[in-house]
Structure 1
Amino acid sequence: MSRPRTEAEYLARLVPPSVAGLNRRSLLAGAAGAGALLGTGLLAGCGDSDSDSGAGSKTVSVGSNASDPTPKDVLAKLAAGFQSKSGVTVNINTVDHNTFQENINNYLQGKPDDVFTWFAGYRMRFFAAKGLAGDVSDVWGKLSGFSDAFKKASTGDDGKQYFVPASYYPWAVFYRKSVWQQRGYQVPKTLDDFNSLGAQMKKDGLNPIAFADKDGWPAMGTFDILNLRINGYQFHVDLMAGKEAWTSDKVKKVFDTWAGLLPLHQPDSLGRTWQEAAQSLQQKKSGMYLLGLFVAQQFNENEQDDIDFFTFPEIDSTIGAKALDAPIDGYMMARKPKSEANAKKLLEYIGGVDAANIMVKGDPGTLVANTGGDTSGYTALKKKAAELVGSATEIAQFLDRDTRPDFASTVMIPALQQFIKDPKDISGLLTSIENQKKSIFTS
């Protein structure tokens, strides 16, 4: 996910002219970001030395955004498992998650690693269409255990596969069972129930809804779920694709509804990371948190059984509450890897059962994409999460994965942060979003 922390960072987004048509502001942002990238070498590929190239190479490099401890450890174990099986050494180039996302465009146009972490759906198709990713259709010919939905999410506009899924996770409203049992709270079925529950939590001295948006992306999840509940999946997808107007009454209703919920949110969210908000839930200072399943990473091992969740409640009975965000994470191959044979061997391994079993054991915050993985060791939380995704009628990938990267980063992040800071001028905000959308989607 895209995670800028400050205005300067989102202004330094990198979507160069060779990747997509831009307005003047975005062009300047790309130039600024490129300079920062070259100056720091933060995303220089590990595999750009001569020793990694050519037939017979025994190394493969991976550019990774898995900078948090748990996913970083899982990738290290995947690398060790692959090396043991193949004799090929994996060089992992780990970069801070936010920095990786902010610099991904120039990274892929420079000397990227052979394989890199990324996301399914629109984000994958965007880079594949620009010729910035390698075709891995032959790898898919050797894979099994993936549903048609996962293969579709890994397929580019040209019908070829460019992505190997590793894990996925649903977004839902998480809470601590012990806190709710102590207070007698009940899972809300409607928005009115949700508001009443939040008001009671406030009276009980809790932050009703843990909230953070310092990184820029968490608020996207709130927008997504409200839009899905109020306007339905198809409208949401069309809005993300630039086919619907942000100035419509439908979108205004989403922000009006959100403005009514903001008093229940943890204050000062623009100065807080998602980890800090999750810790407030872990510390029993907040009653609920709308986030991905990875929230479990912030809980101690002996607290995992105390985490539970419910899907965000119904707002319109004609639409219901079956749609949700469930992003898919995985790996892609560079367009011209130094070690293409080893890159494809690694991707085949990552898409296999052995890797799935490593992920099952290593990360309580994700579900494995390969159905051949041994999920008998899933916690009750993960089993419930898998059932939730299985029962969903529609699944979105997440705002910054379902739309153009430049629109998500240069328009939606600052717009949502502006709304959180001052939710009074919704019409003016939506007019600004719509004008920028037209400029980006028609360029």
Structure 2
Amino acid sequence: MSRPRSQAEYLARLVPPSVAGLNRRSLLAGAAGTGALLGTGLLAGCGGSDSGSGSDSKTVSLGSNQSDPKPKDVIAKVMDGFKTSSGVQVNINTVDHNTFQENINNYLQGKPDDVFMWFAGYRMRFFAAKGLAGDVSDVWGKLSGYSDAFKKASTGDDGKQYFVPASYYPWAVFYRKSVWQQHGYQVPKTLDDLNTLGAQMKKDGLNPIAFADKDGWPAMGTFDILNLRINGYQFHIDLMAGKEAWTSDKVKKVFDTWAGLLPLHQPDALGRTWQEAAQSLQQKKSGMYLLGLFVAQQFNNDEQDDLDFFTFPEIDSTIGAKALDAPIDGYMMARKPKSEANAKKLLEYVGSKDAANITVKNDPSTLVANNGADTSGYTALQKKAAELVGSATEIAQFLDRDTRPDFASTVIIPALQQFIKNPKDIGGLLTSVENQKKSIFTS
């Protein structure tokens, strides 16, 4: 559920410096032949011929990006559970999150592990469309406990499934209950309500909306929710896929609406990290904060019960407020696993309620994707977050997961930061974005 701590780390995770200047064709076609994308080589050959995961073996290999101590320990316990239930040993190849993403293209074209951790949405569909991931539709035939929205997020362009969800974290507007009770604030139901509430918070000496974009990615969440509320889910997804024009009146309306809300946002956002903005909420200096559930990391244990949230309010009554960002993390299978049978056994297990129960028991801060899991250990906040996602009509994966990595990093980040710095020339800004989009998406 963690996000990168700096813009440099974010960019490294999103698209490696060694390939940032390459187009999609050269990225995928050139790497295998030339070895130009080998980089550090830390992922190369992870699932090599000596891995011992042959078709008749009792082993299977897993490429894991869960390198922080807590999630690493949880993954180990889940894999122990799989061994107990199946008799198959999982050889876990743990690589730090940054390096894993830097080398993912070369990794998948070399000798990847039988199963590897990745993300739902565009990033999953991209590798599936290029034939770099295995079809796991038959695994989905054995799974239960997933909503249609989760299945949709696991489905490639060809209608087949290539991903098994494990965990997620919804984006919403967070606030401290004690602050709102003190001032008598009510949850806004419409954009007008939000503006009225923000004006009152200003009078009460608060920053209405905590805000930070030093790291580059947080403002994407604001764009996403405004576009979902104003133009709907399908337009948002099509825009991310390069099928809609950024110069359209629909996109201009998003930025016009955002410009109207900027006075309610914490000033000087480009010099502030998301952690610092979260701390202003924690310190009762800000009234609200639009962010992922991981905002709770910045609150002390005895403050967790004081944290609450609401989904961003309705802007257009014909569209409503049911769509949201809820990035999903999970597992995929290599295109040619050394042990396909064991790989699919593992995927069926990690998608089961048994695996989800192990995760909940050992890491109660995680929201598991399988709704059949025993979530009695969830906090009130986690239960509410799970209900929110369960009631969502559509789930977006977050801008940098729903579009091409190079477009997100080289075009959208500077564009949004330019807008935050100077929101007056929206037309010129969007013309620039559209021109760059055409270049990138046609390469």
Could you say if the C-alpha distance between residues 303 and 241 of structure 1 is closer, same or farther in structure 2, counting changes exceeding 3 Å? same
1:174 CA drift (Å): 0.8
Could you say if the C-alpha distance between residues 339 and 434 of structure 1 is closer, same or farther in structure 2, counting changes exceeding 3 Å? same
In structure 2, distance between residues paired with 1:199 and 1:32: 57
In structure 1, distance between residues paired with 2:37 and 2:352: 34
In structure 1, distance between residues paired with 2:30 and 2:209: 36
Pick which of 223-232 and 272-281 moved more.
Answer: 272-281
3-state SS of 1:80 partner: helix
In structure 1, distance between residues paired with 2:140 and 2:28: 39
**1:129-160 per-position Cα deviation (integer Å, ceiling 9, x unaligned):** 10111222332233222234333322223333
Aligned to 1:173: 173
CA contact (8 A) 2:175 2:288 kept: yes
Could you say if the C-alpha distance between residues 187 and 148 of structure 1 is closer, same or farther in structure 2, counting changes exceeding 3 Å? closer
1:38 CA drift (Å): 3.7
Aligned to 2:363: 363
3-state SS of 1:330 partner: strand
C-alpha RMSD over aligned residues = 3.9
CA contact (8 A) 1:135 1:161 kept: yes
3-state SS of 1:113 partner: coil
Pick which of 246-255 and 311-320 moved more.
Answer: 311-320
**1:389-427 per-position Cα deviation (integer Å, ceiling 9, x unaligned):** 233333323222323333333322232233233333322
Pick which of 308-317 and 330-339 moved more.
Answer: 330-339
Could you say if the C-alpha distance between residues 21 and 213 of structure 1 is closer, same or farther in structure 2, counting changes exceeding 3 Å? closer
CA contact (8 A) 2:226 2:254 kept: yes
Pick which of 400-409 and 122-131 moved more.
Answer: 400-409
Pick which of 127-136 and 255-264 moved more.
Answer: 255-264
1:271 CA drift (Å): 4.5
1:332 CA drift (Å): 0.6
Could you say if the C-alpha distance between residues 62 and 284 of structure 1 is closer, same or farther in structure 2, counting changes exceeding 3 Å? farther
Could you say if the C-alpha distance between residues 273 and 19 of structure 1 is closer, same or farther in structure 2, counting changes exceeding 3 Å? closer
3-state SS of 1:38 partner: coil
In structure 2, distance between residues paired with 1:163 and 1:266: 38
Provide structure 1 residue ranges, at least 5 long, that are not aligned to the other structure: none
1:302 CA drift (Å): 3.2
CA contact (8 A) 1:213 1:219 kept: yes
CA contact (8 A) 1:132 1:334 kept: yes
In structure 2, distance between residues paired with 1:159 and 1:27: 25
1:200 CA drift (Å): 3.5
In structure 2, distance between residues paired with 1:141 and 1:316: 37
Aligned to 1:136: 136
1:335 CA drift (Å): 1.9
Pick which of 242-251 and 397-406 moved more.
Answer: 397-406
In structure 1, distance between residues paired with 2:30 and 2:89: 34
Pick which of 85-94 and 171-180 moved more.
Answer: 85-94
CA contact (8 A) 2:7 2:215 kept: no
1:226 CA drift (Å): 0.7
1:6 CA drift (Å): 7.3
Percentage identity across paired residues of the two chains = 91
Provide structure 2 residue ranges, at least 5 long, that are not aligned to the other structure: none
Could you say if the C-alpha distance between residues 387 and 12 of structure 1 is closer, same or farther in structure 2, counting changes exceeding 3 Å? closer
Alignment size in residue pairs: 443
Aligned to 2:184: 184
CA contact (8 A) 2:115 2:343 kept: yes
Pick which of 94-103 and 428-437 moved more.
Answer: 94-103
